[in-house]
């Protein structure tokens, strides 16, 4: 009985002093565990007079319960204390400014393309797309660029195999649309094109073009001129003039390159237009009769015009960006400015 009292009071003292859950666990093992002091004491039972055993057993059990209760109270106390310390340490300052979510921004190319599409759709054009991985047939053959044609070397092509390549021009979509045979045609076809070019301020192995194609009865060069003059005004301002310079493309005849008057200096000549007053923006022409024929359209009945422009070129001009590489780096600090 004296030992039991000793165990109880020693336990109460140790529990009261315990500062952590690990200490409490040690105390529990030492006293209540299989080899613990109280468990050992219980083993004395067999040496006692039979009439004393129930009483002693009861006393040990109630001591065990009491110690368990004290342990639990101590655990609660320690947990509460830990929580208080935590709350004290983690003060939330509700006056701090909120973290702003990083929201993306439309790319200058997307902005320019949106505007170009809006203008053409307003003139009754449909926006269509073609595949980036394309047959040589659509990219070259049906556009009057047969094998061994010098124009084929001008556009350094990424070939996938002998017949399949990464398209070098969105003109490939022209052949696909005409071949479908649904006339009249009035489409633009924006998309990515690929050429084996070195990267510099004005070149990239992958860039974007916008193709235009109109095929109907009685389409003339005057329609082409009127259309492009109107587009130039809408994109670069009411006072913009256009100039057609004779050129050669295999799939158009006659062909032209088109310059717009410099919207920066109004044509007087500045750093922007390299002193000439004019900025080249696209290639165009009347669809070559042979191309119409190869795509199943009767050139005696139908005529058409086509044009192709570089989207990056328009973005760089419109937003006065002087290095094409900026358009591909996607630095949000740059993109946010437009």
Closest-CA residue to 60 (of 74, 76, 48): 48
Closest-CA residue to 216 (of 319, 302, 309, 150): 302
How many positions of this chain bind ligand DAH (CB under 6 A)?
A: 11
Which stretch in 8-16, 21-29, 76-84, 283-291 sits in contact with ligand DAH by CB under 6 A? 283-291
- Neighbouring-strand partners of residue 260: 242, 279
Q: How far is the CB of 313 from ligand DAH (least distance, A)?
A: 11
Which stretch in 15-23, 183-191, 278-286, 311-319 sits in contact with ligand DAH by CB under 6 A? 278-286
- C-alpha 336/C-alpha 309 separation (Å) is 25
303: contact with ligand DAH by CB under 6 A: no
Q: How far is the CB of 240 from ligand DAH (least distance, A)?
A: 20
> With respect to ligand DAH, which residue has the nearer C-beta, 12 or 123?
123
Which stretch in 224-232, 272-280, 281-289, 311-319 sits in contact with ligand DAH by CB under 6 A? 281-289
Q: How far is CA 331 from CA 144, 325, 327, in A?
A: 41, 11, 9
> With respect to ligand DAH, which residue has the nearer C-beta, 108 or 308?
308
Q: For the window 189-228, what string marks contact with ligand DAH as x by the rule CB under 6 A?
A: ----------------------x-----------------
285: contact with ligand DAH by CB under 6 A: yes
Choice from 120, 249, 263, 278 touching ligand DAH (CB under 6 A):
249
> With respect to ligand DAH, which residue has the nearer C-beta, 278 or 307?
307
CB atoms within 10 A of CB 17: 10
> With respect to ligand DAH, which residue has the nearer C-beta, 249 or 278?
249
Choice from 139, 157, 169, 208 touching ligand DAH (CB under 6 A):
169
- Neighbouring-strand partners of residue 193: 207
Choice from 258, 291, 308, 311 touching ligand DAH (CB under 6 A):
308
Q: How far is the CB of 243 from ligand DAH (least distance, A)?
A: 16
- C-alpha 273/C-alpha 178 separation (Å) is 36
CB atoms within 10 A of CB 7: 20
Closest-CA residue to 78 (of 152, 24, 154, 130): 24
- C-alpha 290/C-alpha 269 separation (Å) is 40
Q: How far is the CB of 135 from ligand DAH (least distance, A)?
A: 16
Q: Which long-range contacts (CB under 8 A, 24 or more apart) does 195-203 make?
A: 195/155, 195/156, 195/157, 195/158, 195/168, 196/156, 196/157, 196/158, 197/156, 199/325, 200/324, 200/325, 201/322, 201/323, 201/324, 201/325, 202/324, 203/324
263: contact with ligand DAH by CB under 6 A: no
> With respect to ligand DAH, which residue has the nearer C-beta, 36 or 304?
304
Q: How far is the CB of 163 from ligand DAH (least distance, A)?
A: 20
Strand order across the beta sheet in which 185-194 lies: 126-127, 185-194, 206-216, 303-310, 278-287, 252-261, 242-249
Residues within the interface to ligand DAH (CB under 6 A): 169, 171, 211, 249, 252, 283-285, 306-308
């Amino acid at each position: 009985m004296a030992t039991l009292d000793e165990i109880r009071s020693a336990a109460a003292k140790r529990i009261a002093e315990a500062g952590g859950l690990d200490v409490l666990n040690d105390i529990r093992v030492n006293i209540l565990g299989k080899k613990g002091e109280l468990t050992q004491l219980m083993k004395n039972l067999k040496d006692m007079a039979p009439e004393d055993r129930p009483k002693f057993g009861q006393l040990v059990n109630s001591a065990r319960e009491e110690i368990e209760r004290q342990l639990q109270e101590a655990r609660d106390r320690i947990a509460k204390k830990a929580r208080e310390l935590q709350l004290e340490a983690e003060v939330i300052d509700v006056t701090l400014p909120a973290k702003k979510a990083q929201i993306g921004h439309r790319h200058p190319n997307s902005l320019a393309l949106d505007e170009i599409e809006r203008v053409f759709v307003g003139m009754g054009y449909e926006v269509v797309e073609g595949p980036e991985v394309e047959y040589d047939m659509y990219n070259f053959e049906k556009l009057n660029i047969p094998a061994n044609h010098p124009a084929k070397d001008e556009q350094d092509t990424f070939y996938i195999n002998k017949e399949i390549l990464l398209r070098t021009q969105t003109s490939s979509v022209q052949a696909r649309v005409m071949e479908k045979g649904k006339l009249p045609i009035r489409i633009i076809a924006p998309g990515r094109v690929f050429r084996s070019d070195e990267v510099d301020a004005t070149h990239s192995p992958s860039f974007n073009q916008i193709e235009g194609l109109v095929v109907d009865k009685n389409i003339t060069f005057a329609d082409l001129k009127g259309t492009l003059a109107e587009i130039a005004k809408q994109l670069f301002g009411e006072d913009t003039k256009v100039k057609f310079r004779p050129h050669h493309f295999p799939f158009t005849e006659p062909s032209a390159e088109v310059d717009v008057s410099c919207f920066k200096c109004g044509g007087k000549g500045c750093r922007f237009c390299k002193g000439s007053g004019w900025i080249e923006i696209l290639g165009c022409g009347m669809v070559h009769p042979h191309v119409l024929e190869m795509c199943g359209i009767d050139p005696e009945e139908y005529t058409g015009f086509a044009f192709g422009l570089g989207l990056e070129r328009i973005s760089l001009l419109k937003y006065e960006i002087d290095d094409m590489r900026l358009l591909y780096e996607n630095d949000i600090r740059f993109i946010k400015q437009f």
